[in-house]
Amino acid sequence: MSQVTVSVRTYAFTWATLLALTLLTSVMGLLDLGTFNMVAAVLIALIKASLIAAIFMHAFFGAKLVRIVVASGVMWFLILIGLTLADYLTRGLLPFPGK
Amino acid sequence: MADPLELAVREQFHDPAQQRETSTVAMWVFLITEVMLFGVLFTTFTVYRIGHPAAFDQGSAQMEFWMGAVNTAVLICSSFAMALAVNSAERGKRLRLAVYLLLTIGIGLVFLGIKFTEYYLHYQDHKVPGLNFQDSTPDARFIEMFFVFYFIMTGLHAIHMLVGIGLLSALLLRTYLGSFNGEYHTPVELTGLYWHFVDVVWVFLFAIFYIPGAHMR
């Protein structure tokens, strides 16, 4: 039986939202917001990526197993970047004898 | 002629639904390995950026900002066309599927055209590490490092785009041959997943390479 996962309307709305967010992130990039430039850019990128994964890639509508796989991917990446930064960001934080 | 649905179910599966779910999960697992591939690069970039924020901002200021922004929009449009292709496949509309696949490939090629134009401009500006990199500012070493990341990460992304265009072309051929119908169109969906994933990677590449130094241009 053929079934439609996501309607054209939903795709079109997602597409328009993604374009709007691209415009927003570009305009914000032109303003000098200090460190917040990078933070805002990554936050908007996360929102866009979630929209693409949830709607375009059907993760939101998919089987539970698919959602678990997606979540595990995010988790493995957080371990990768989290533990790496836990090292680099904390170097030189504590004095140690002989130095 | 044999029913394409019968031909499409391999013997290890009970029914088309089980086969489809297995394939979908497997594709996602593959995409997670891709997340790890790009993830290592993103992590290394983050470590270097934290170490040399000023140099990386200067490097970012030398990006072709508007080309990057337009390219982001272009790739989102290509993803939209792919989503519509999957929708057409689900409805069993063969002609529409072919048109949207062609559109996806076409917009993807526009993206690569803009990308390679950028590469050429960087080449002319003497910003290609290992080939002709020139910079006389005090931070030159780390600006060069920024460009190393830029070329490796966007280059790896461009290779993924080329692979995607190859897969989409194969889909187009199979659509023409009548391999897909409303019941069986798993390859269209899975190639769609790959194409959207490549889009997601670009969204992050745009955020980390083009945005931070855009206001300094």
**Mind listing the pLDDT tens digit for each residue in B14-65?**
888 888 899 999 999 999 999 999 999 999 999 999 999 999 999 999 999 9
Domain assignment present for B118: yes
Question: Does residue B144 sit at the A interface (CB-CB below 8 Å)?
Answer: no
Note down pLDDT in tens along chain A; length 99 residues.
356 789 999 999 999 999 999 999 999 999 998 888 999 999 999 999 999 999 999 998 888 999 999 999 999 999 999 999 999 999 878 877 776
Number of domains composing chain B: 1
**B201 lies in which domain range?**
15-216
| Phi–psi pair at B45, nearest 5 degrees | -55, -45
The answer to whether position B4 is within a domain reads: no
What residues have CB less than 8 Å from B53, skipping those under 6 apart? none
CB B81 within 8 Å of CB B155 = no
Pick the closest to residue A66 from B23, B13, B203, B79 (CA basis): B23
| B3 pLDDT more than 70 | no
Nearest CA in chain A to B69: A26
DSSP 8-state code for residue B15: S
> Does residue B9 fall inside a structural domain?
no
CA angle A32/A37/A38 to nearest 5° reads 150
pLDDT for res B1: 46
Cβ contact, residue pair A52, B199, below 8 Å: yes
Q: Which amino acid belongs to residue B109?
A: L
Q: What is the pLDDT of residues B100-153, one digit of tens each?
A: 999 999 999 999 999 999 999 999 999 999 999 999 999 999 999 999 999 999
pLDDT at B52: 94
CATH of the domain at B168: 1.20.120.80
pLDDT of residue B212: 93
| Stretch B67-81: mean pLDDT | 97
CA distance A67 to A52: 14
- Which token pair is B111? 């993206």
| Domain presence at residue B163 | yes
Average the pLDDT over each of B12-16, B75-79, B193-197 and give the range with the smallest value: B12-16
What pLDDT is stored for residue B142 in this prediction?
A: 95
**CA atoms of B196 and B83, how far apart (whole Å):** 9
Contact yes or no for B195/B82 (Cβ under 8 A): yes
> Which of A18, A45, A84 is closest, CB to CB, to B47?
A84
Residue B179 domain-assigned (yes or no): yes
B88, B111, B215: best to mutate for the A interface, most A CBs within 10 A: B215
- The answer to the question of residue B5 being in a domain is no
Q: B76 and A15 in contact by Cβ < 8 A?
A: yes
Rounded to a whole number, what is the distance in Å from the CA of B153 to chain A's nearest CA? 16
